[in-house]
Amino acid sequence: MEMETKPKSKKLIIIPIMMLLVALILFYGMSSEGLKLDVDLAGGTQLVIDSERSINGDSLESTLNDFGASVTTSRGLSGNSIIIKYKSDVNTTKVLDVMKESGYSFDSYSIQTVGPSLGASFFTQAQTALLFAFIFMAIAIFVIFKKFMPSFYVVLCAFANLVEAVVISQFLGIELSLATFAALLLTLGYSVDTDILLTARVLKEKEGNVEDRFKGAFKTGITMTGTTLAALLVLYFATNSVVITQIASVLLIALVLDVINTWLLNANLLRWYMERSKK
């Protein structure tokens, strides 16, 4: 039975293609102007304060204006976290004294200071790790399937997920950090899982026609993604940990993108590949 590519599918493929093109343009612009980096990659001091009561971030930032500090807040089931960032040459004791004098009380706090040169070194190493992970992933995909075009589709979708996740997270104000690089590595692995599931079902299974294989792969893949999304949503709203929040945020963005890139881009490219193979 010859497979026919559905007209609707041909039209829908333009969505992920345009998303990737726009993401590449935006990423180039962001890279030229400088990506938003967290303290552990850009250098500086990060003061994380735990508090039982909610604190207005804008008001506190105004109070600490003389220090050039930026303030963000995170709320979880166990309380609130206030993240204050400023240059490494600022005296943290003075920052705490000003907060106390202004009536801010807190239960506990932690301090992280990273020098600019060390932060730049971390940034370079994180980029290198992500690059090598992508290269070895691509090699493994080509070895597994031994067919260039289906393997290329998997690699293309993984690349699209990474670039688009970085662009959207930067647009939403999520800074690149060691935690977000870890999330990007997890994104790479998860996006490859769903694409391998799809490609393996379509190319290697012999039962049923090709469209039935697509439907079976879609059902399994969406179930996997849905359960992971649910777990990440709980993690995002339940924790007040800065690191966990950053990881969960990037993964949530990446999983939504993975649905689009896997089932609109890779699936339709595979349909065309199978159609040409039949002919």
**Residue 266 and residue 217 in one domain:** yes
In a domain, 1, yes or no: no
Confidence class for position 138, pLDDT limits 50, 70, 90: very high
Same domain for 121 and 110: no
Report the pLDDT value the prediction gives residue 4, as an integer from 0 to 100.
43
SS (H, E, C) the chain: CCCCCCHHHHHHCHHHHHHHHHHHHHHHHHHHHCCCECHHHHCEEEEEEEECCCCCHHHHHHHCHHHCCEEEEEEECCEEEEEEEECCCCCHHHHHHHHHHCCCCCCEEEEEEECHHHHHHHHHHHHHHHHHHHHHHHHHHHHHHCCHHHHHHHHHHHHHHHHHHHHHHHHCCCCECHHHHHHHHHHHHHHHHHHHHHHHHHHHCCCCCHHHHHHHHHHHHHHHHHHHHHHHHHHHHHCCCHHHHHHHHHHHHHHHHHHHHHHHHHHHHHHHHHHHHHC
Structural domain includes residue 188 = yes
Q: Residue 248, Cβ neighbours under 10 Å: how many? A: 22
- In this predicted structure, the answer to whether residue 8 has a pLDDT above a threshold of 50 is yes
Model pLDDT for residues 190-225, shown as the tens digit of each residue: 889 999 999 998 887 777 678 888 888 999 999 999
Query: Comparing 279 with 58, which gets the higher pLDDT?
Result: 58
- Whether residues 13 and 126 share a domain: the answer is yes
Report pLDDT for 106.
73
Residue 84 forms part of a structural domain: yes
Average pLDDT over residues 149-167: 95
In a domain, 131, yes or no: yes
One domain, residues 81 and 133: no
Would you say residue 230 lies in a domain?
Answer: yes
Domain boundary among the residues 114, 142, 176 is at 114
Residues 79 and 27 in one domain: no
Are 48 and 157 in a shared domain?
Answer: no
Give the count of domains, the chain. Answer: 2
- CATH number where 249 lies: 1.20.1640.10
Of 114, 138, 172, the residue at which a domain comes to its end is 114
Same domain, 51 and 90: yes
User: pLDDT per residue over 39-92, tens digit each?
Assistant: 889 888 988 888 777 777 788 888 898 888 888 887 766 677 888 898 888 888
Domain, as residue range, for 83: 44-114
- Rounded to whole angstroms, how far apart are CA atoms 21 and 19? 6
69 in Cβ contact with 84 (< 8 Å): yes
From 81, 114, 147, the end of a domain falls on 114
Between the CA of residue 84 and those of 59, 72, 171, 224, what are the distances in Å? 12, 7, 20, 37
> And the tokens for 200?
């393996």
The answer to whether position 220 is within a domain reads yes
Which pTM value belongs to this model?
Answer: 0.86
